[in-house]
Amino acid sequence: MIEKNIWRSHILTDTKEHLYRTYILPVLLYGCETWTVSKTLAKRLDAFDTWCLWKILRIPYTRHTTNDRVRSITGCLPVSEKVKSFRLRFFGHLARSAPEQDHHRVIAAALRPPSDWRRPVGRPRSTWLRATDEDVQPRTLGSTRRGGRQRTGMLGTMQVVSTATLC
């Protein structure tokens, strides 16, 4: 219904982009700061986002325009990048919270699980903290070398968290 009534109408393209950013993206990204996004889900989110942008700009598929060109025209970041940004902002909020708050203690306990704890069978391997750690990795200044090989992972998040006085 929205495709026929708004995207194909003769409303200005800037207005369509504004409607997309105002009404569709917030619904799509509601609660995304707590999502654990797999690569498959990130591709699907970006595909939907790109599809909407193609419809807004009224570009036919026969024109052979790249998705990067569409993004440069609209100035929109991929939805997967927005999810990462929201997740890092939420992590910063949690890391800066007071130590007596419950959510602060939960994150601190998750960073230091008991040595005998294992994830239950059938649960996804990726967790919110691992996803946040992957988001933090490109932003860390250095990495630690141990045993001749480079170690990254939760260490980067722990460094960020320890600077935020979480541990």
**In this predicted model, what pLDDT tens digit does every residue of 27-85 receive, in sequence order?**
999 999 989 888 899 999 999 999 999 999 988 888 888 999 999 999 989 999 999 99
Beta strands in the chain (DSSP E): 144-146, 149-151
Report which of 47, 48, 43, 57 is spatially closest to residue 8, judged by C-alpha positions: 57
Give pLDDT, residue 108: 77
Residue 89 has φ and ψ, to the nearest 5°, of -65, -40
Report which of 147, 144, 76, 149 is spatially closest to residue 158, judged by C-alpha positions: 144
Return the structure tokens found at 49.
Answer: 């986002």
Q: Count CB atoms within 10 A of the CB of residue 5.
A: 9
Give the mean model confidence (pLDDT) for residues 132-153.
Answer: 58
Low-confidence winner among 3-12, 87-96, 153-162 (lowest mean pLDDT)? 153-162
Q: Would you kindly state where each structural domain of the chain is located, as residue ranges?
A: 2-78, 96-114+124-163
What is the C-alpha separation between 99 and 108, in angstroms, rounded? 9
What is the C-alpha separation between 158 and 97, in angstroms, rounded? 16
Task: Let me know: does 111 contact 129? Beta carbons within 8 Å.
Answer: yes
Residue 105 has φ and ψ, to the nearest 5°, of -65, -35
- Highest mean pLDDT out of 2-11, 64-73, 136-145: 64-73
Give pLDDT, residue 79: 94
What is the C-alpha separation between 140 and 163, in angstroms, rounded? 12
Distance from the first to the final alpha carbon of the chain: 51
